[in-house]
Structure 1
Amino acid sequence: MKTQSKYIFTVLSILACSFLGCKKDFLNQSPESSLTNVNFWKTESDLKQGVTGAYSSLRGMGTFSFWLFGEMRSDNTTFQYNAPQRGQENREQVDQFIANSANTLLQDFWRDSYTSIFRCNDVLDHVGAIPMSDAGKAQAIGEVKFLRAFHYFNLVRQFGGVPLRLDVTKAPGDAPSKGRATVEAVYTQIIEDLNEAATNLPEVSAYAAADKGRVSKGSANALLGEVYMTQKKFGDALTALRKVTGYSLMPTYASIFLTSNKNNVESVFEIQYYSTAGTNLSSNFMYQFAPFNSGTAVTQDPGTNLSFTSGWNTPTTDLIASYEAGDVRKDVSLAEGFTGSTGFVAVPYIKKYNQGFVQPGQTNVNFPVIRYADVMLMIAECLNEQGFVPNGEAFNLLNEIRRRGGIPAKTFGNPVPALNVASQDAFREAVYQERKVELAFENHRWFDLVRTGKAVEVMNAHGQREIAKAPAQYPSGAYMLTLNKILLQIPQREVILDNLPQNPQ
């Protein structure tokens, strides 16, 4: 009974948090601190703040959990071993596939995902009673249904079947879940939410400048396409992806990530960050991804010291070797080292989000979740899965992205062996390779490895190469991935308090 009471208190505390983090304007104001269920949910302004509160959970997860579990579990990145400052083994365990249910980072990921889901449910519970236009209500519903689907999509891919919480917890008896839903049931809900979101949301072009960054009809259809691809329903995926219109590639790869180009024509969905005095809305990617021993050489910020919170999401030699000669995306995305007081230090780091700081320790760099380049590559993959067409539309989409990267086209019958794509299977590999470098450090690689059935083979081979560099740094069992270990362990706290069955290991 005591543990049950603690669980109820935690759930109700999360509900209370749904009123915090709501902003007067879209994601650029400080949280309100005096809102309660008594004086809230009465006006159109309240509803808009509630919707913004649902977005706000993305910010914290974007600066940590998303890249930790979406990129560092892949062969694209690892970490810089910090011998002088141990104590961050919980992060290392995620990278090495030895994180167990007691790892606090799994609990953080789980809790933050459900916090956002609770906020979405709160909006859905109250939107009907708000005096405002039907169009305004429909948009609000579309936004939070997209966000709820996004979080459930992350959860089901990382944990398998998870509790489906679709209603607001109003009484202590509502706090425990109904247990883990099946994977199929979670996907059914995700698809239902995204279809409704696609129906209710406006096109990206309909948003005023002040509202750029909100999810749109294109965002919902792009995510729906990825959901269907994960289920290997390529025909359904293609139908959804064809509806992603109003976007185009930026003229150069480097221009995508500039802070002056936030929410650009290629952006389908990105997490919004701002560096404003007195708020907690900023990003800090370049500090976390800089080598911990680089001083100010990487960040150029004399007011911020680097420590154990730096040296993460480090590009691997596997990824560095994946770029073709002349690919301009390599220099935009990463550096193979930095020049310090003693000369060049060969510790790679991510450059893609290194766009300078606004205040010491704070940047306003957004994080791309879905870009149109991603959509184009998904369409190319779907077309190929429906039938290989030599030099057809799928080739055109692939090569448009390659040309922007400064590398030659891959074609059927190309006299250069490395550029010749002679079969359906060869085209699959070409798309997988292109996704690896085009979308590097954007949290796609791990999910791509899993959905294509390559995770175990690729990650075990990658792990052996990493261990060979410094065997003494790796604990027993590191990088020994099995099919069971593809899913994360359910956090032990949830297993106990919500009586959830654990994933096998």
Structure 2
Amino acid sequence: MQGKRSIQYILIPLMAALLTTGCGKNFLDLNPEATINSNVFYKNEDEIKQAVNAAYNILQDLGRESYWIFGEMRSDNSAFQYNNADRGREQWEFVDEFLVGATAECIRNFWQDSYIGISRCNDVLAHIDEVTMSDAARNQYTGEVQFLRAFHYFNLVRQFGGVPLRMSAVQSPDSSLSKGRASVEQVYAVIIADLTAAAAKLPAKYNGADVGRASSATASTLLGKVYLTQKKYAEALAELRKVTALGYQLVPNYADIFDPNKKNGPESIFEIQYLGSQTGLFSSFMYTFAPYTSGSAVTGDTKTGINGSGSGWNIPTQDMIAAYEAGDKRKAASLSEGYTINGVFVNIPYVKKYNHGFTEVGRTNDNFPVLRYADVLLMIAECLNEQGFVANGEAFDLLNQVRTRAGLPNKTAAELNSQTAFRNAVFHERQVELAFENHRWYDLVRSGNAVTVMNAHGVREKQQHTYIPSNAYQVSNNRLLLPLPQTDVNLDNLEQNPQ
């Protein structure tokens, strides 16, 4: 009976037809029309497409909470505005302070939502070969869910280490228990196999209503990032070179990347798609990231209250603010150092990247970037440098492309005169270029700098904020991994991460 309770979320796709609807003009039309038993579903191409669409849907939930909590707030980029009157989300604070425990709801949400997404992908793969459709359609849908499954596992393995591998559809609660935690190497092998297959199957790009779906460039970019994380620089470079041949380019104005009116532009490789006009599909980052004391000064929405634990999150730190060089155009597009209310300036910073007004009260239309071309250029520069420092070589050119757009002077070998100096420059550039896009924590870990940087950051945070507990920011190698959710540890008999 415990096994039935422990992983009931794995069975959601079988019980509710994967939140499916008819295939309208946009693949984000995912709201449920009815509950459909899986035995009568997956009978034609239209239903397969609906199921693939539903596999994308869980990214919206993860994007609204888990990705930025664990990708940004866990790093030195952002923290939170302490709300003494509303302690409803204290566990989010504990993530930032390296005090979060295995029973935290945010840990459980991240884990469960990721495995719901994996399960939806497995259901598509279990049924797609039974359905009559063209080879092109079959390849596309298969490649899309292989990419999505790999994306979930990549996030899980980087945050938890080895995790259970669920590679087939669950048919009943009795078969829902896992075989235990796979090794990190085994998880990466699955990720690489899925992304390699997806890159070979998917179209290079999309047009019309399908823009925003995972493409071969999406799969190759993520595969390059996977190899880079493993320090397999030659393999990473080979994948990333494929992307540079597909016509992506840096947009001239950095702020345009995040403009909802310019979604999925020439720099975008993959974004979490939101629709501000549809119930359940809208984003709300502007409200979540606004200081809870700001009223409507940040959002411009006088009908939506900003005064509780739903706001004041992902607040830029002083370390993040200080990371920008003088004249960097990206700073004003990414954050504000405060807001003005009743004619008084309040020095509480907030993220501006996703602040473009509301479509309806409480709803916004901002997408969330996952992979974009500037990231590719910086990853290639990193790979080239790790293979061998070349003064003023191609790696410098790529780094300077990103800096030129930001209005900054070129870096040359007169300033960066060694492999180490160039490596540090690339990681610094990634921090400011990709700020608040959920890359910083992972970059700190793979660079080997997470423990040193976060302990030093913690010292500064404690000096600035008296509410931080004395045992916060005691970062060790063990604490670079999150604890597994205790419910799954107990009911699925999993070994817990040491803390």
- Name the TM-score class by shorter chain: over 0.9
SS for the counterpart of 2:369 is strand
Tell me how far apart the structure 1 counterparts of residues 10 and 380 of structure 2 sit (CA, whole Å): 40
SS for the counterpart of 1:368 is strand
1:324-343 to structure 2, matched below 5 A, reads 324-341=325-342, 343=344
Letter of the 2:241 counterpart: R
Decide whether the 8 Å contact of 1:145 with 1:197 is kept in 2: yes
Decide whether the 8 Å contact of 1:270 with 1:367 is kept in 2: yes
SS for the counterpart of 1:71 is helix
Does 2:492 correspond to 1:491? no
Decide whether the 8 Å contact of 1:218 with 1:268 is kept in 2: yes
Tell me how far apart the structure 1 counterparts of residues 16 and 416 of structure 2 sit (CA, whole Å): 53
Tell me how far apart the structure 2 counterparts of residues 336 and 298 of structure 1 sit (CA, whole Å): 12
Structure 2 match to 1:303: 303
Deviation of 1:39 after TM superposition, in Å, equals: 2.6
Structure 2 match to 1:221: 220
TM-score w.r.t. the length of structure 2 is: 0.97
Decide whether the 8 Å contact of 2:251 with 2:257 is kept in 1: yes
Deviation of 1:402 after TM superposition, in Å, equals: 0.3
Decide whether the 8 Å contact of 2:4 with 2:174 is kept in 1: no
Tell me how far apart the structure 2 counterparts of residues 173 and 8 of structure 1 sit (CA, whole Å): 10
Tell me how far apart the structure 1 counterparts of residues 6 and 378 of structure 2 sit (CA, whole Å): 43
Structure 2 match to 1:291: 291
Deviation of 1:475 after TM superposition, in Å, equals: 2.1
Deviation of 1:8 after TM superposition, in Å, equals: 5.8
Letter of the 2:3 counterpart: Q
Decide whether the 8 Å contact of 2:3 with 2:176 is kept in 1: no
Decide whether the 8 Å contact of 1:22 with 1:56 is kept in 2: no
Deviation of 1:28 after TM superposition, in Å, equals: 3.1
- Per mean C-alpha deviation after superposition, the further-off stretch among 19-28 and 225-234 is 19-28
Decide whether the 8 Å contact of 2:333 with 2:353 is kept in 1: yes
Q: 1:480 aligns with which of 474, 477, 488?
A: 474
SS for the counterpart of 2:408 is coil
Structure 2 match to 1:403: 404
Deviation by residue 1:334-357 (Cα, 9 ceiling, x = unmatched): 000000115000000000100110
TM-score w.r.t. the length of structure 1 is: 0.96
CA RMSD, 1 decimal: 1.2
Where does the alignment leave 5 or more consecutive residues of structure 1 unmatched?
414-419
SS for the counterpart of 1:282 is coil
Aligned-residue sequence identity (percent) comes to: 56
SS for the counterpart of 2:38 is coil
Letter of the 1:466 counterpart: E
SS for the counterpart of 1:19 is helix
1:156-171 to structure 2, matched below 5 A, reads 156-171=157-172
Letter of the 2:53 counterpart: T
Decide whether the 8 Å contact of 1:15 with 1:118 is kept in 2: no
Structure 2 match to 1:416: none
Deviation of 1:12 after TM superposition, in Å, equals: 2.7
- Per mean C-alpha deviation after superposition, the further-off stretch among 374-383 and 24-33 is 24-33
Deviation of 1:37 after TM superposition, in Å, equals: 1.2
Deviation of 1:251 after TM superposition, in Å, equals: 1.1
SS for the counterpart of 1:309 is coil
- Per mean C-alpha deviation after superposition, the further-off stretch among 302-311 and 156-165 is 302-311
Structure 2 match to 1:44: 45
Q: 1:57 to 1:369 in 2, by over 3 A?
A: same
Where does the alignment leave 5 or more consecutive residues of structure 2 unmatched?
none
Letter of the 2:64 counterpart: T
1:413-432 to structure 2, matched below 5 A, reads 413=414, 420-432=415-427
Structure 1 match to 2:454: 459
Tell me how far apart the structure 1 counterparts of residues 138 and 303 of structure 2 sit (CA, whole Å): 45
Deviation of 1:86 after TM superposition, in Å, equals: 1.8
Deviation by residue 1:154-193 (Cα, 9 ceiling, x = unmatched): 0000000000000001133321000000000000000000
Letter of the 1:263 counterpart: N
Does 2:439 correspond to 1:444? yes
Structure 1 match to 2:366: 365
Decide whether the 8 Å contact of 2:16 with 2:37 is kept in 1: no
SS for the counterpart of 1:388 is coil
Deviation of 1:20 after TM superposition, in Å, equals: 1.6
SS for the counterpart of 1:55 is helix
Deviation of 1:368 after TM superposition, in Å, equals: 0.2
Decide whether the 8 Å contact of 2:304 with 2:362 is kept in 1: yes
Deviation of 1:23 after TM superposition, in Å, equals: 5.4
Post-superposition, which runs of at least 4 consecutive aligned residues in structure 1 deviate over 6 A?
A: none
Tell me how far apart the structure 2 counterparts of residues 502 and 56 of structure 1 sit (CA, whole Å): 29
Give the count of matched residue pairs: 494
Decide whether the 8 Å contact of 1:274 with 1:282 is kept in 2: yes
Decide whether the 8 Å contact of 1:241 with 1:379 is kept in 2: yes
Tell me how far apart the structure 2 counterparts of residues 216 and 23 of structure 1 sit (CA, whole Å): 22
Letter of the 1:58 counterpart: L
Decide whether the 8 Å contact of 1:169 with 1:175 is kept in 2: yes
Tell me how far apart the structure 2 counterparts of residues 399 and 8 of structure 1 sit (CA, whole Å): 48
Tell me how far apart the structure 2 counterparts of residues 251 and 195 of structure 1 sit (CA, whole Å): 32
Letter of the 2:154 counterpart: F
Tell me how far apart the structure 2 counterparts of residues 113 and 18 of structure 1 sit (CA, whole Å): 18
Decide whether the 8 Å contact of 1:41 with 1:126 is kept in 2: yes
Tell me how far apart the structure 2 counterparts of residues 287 and 173 of structure 1 sit (CA, whole Å): 42
Structure 2 match to 1:137: 138
Deviation of 1:40 after TM superposition, in Å, equals: 1.2
Structure 2 match to 1:270: 271
Tell me how far apart the structure 1 counterparts of residues 261 and 126 of structure 2 sit (CA, whole Å): 37
Tell me how far apart the structure 1 counterparts of residues 156 and 359 of structure 2 sit (CA, whole Å): 33
Tell me how far apart the structure 2 counterparts of residues 293 and 335 of structure 1 sit (CA, whole Å): 15
Deviation of 1:10 after TM superposition, in Å, equals: 4.5
